[in-house]
Amino acid sequence: MADRLVCRDCHRVQETEEVEACIACGSTSLTEDWAGYVVIGHPEESIIAEEMEVEEPGTYALKVR
């Protein structure tokens, strides 16, 4: 997944490489410079999702530069 794009604003990992904007928040600030990821299936029950302020299920990068 290292060649995927990640949103700098919400940290959502983009599943397709040919995107112009984040599928979650609409931001155009995408980067290939990120490390680690977490898959959140039930954000309403997740402490990690709460810390990351994630409200939607999906794959999120832990560190985005």
Asked whether residue 18 is assigned to any structural domain, the reply reads: yes
**Segment 4-44, tens digit of pLDDT:** 899 999 999 998 767 889 999 999 999 999 999 999 999 99
Concatenate the DSSP letters of all residues of 3-61 into one string: TS-EETTT-BBPSSS--SS-TTT----EES-EEEEEEES-GGG-HHHHHHT--S-EEEE
Return the structure tokens found at 5. Answer: 């794009």
**CATH number of the domain residue 15 falls in:** 2.20.28.90
Predicted pLDDT of residue 15: 80
Q: What phi, psi does 44 have (nearest 5°)?
A: -70, -15
Task: Identify the three-state secondary structure at position 63.
Answer: strand
Residue 24 lies in a domain: yes
Q: Which structural domain range is residue 56 located in?
A: 6-64
The reply, when asked if residue 22 is annotated as ligand binding, is: yes
Residue 47 in domain: yes
| pLDDT at position 57 over 70 | yes
Has residue 32 been placed in a domain? Answer: yes
Residue 1 has pLDDT above 90, yes or no: no
Tell me, yes or no, whether 12 lies in a domain. yes
Q: 10 labelled as ligand-binding?
A: yes
Specify if 1 maps to a domain: no
Count of domains forming the chain: 1
**Model confidence, pTM:** 0.87
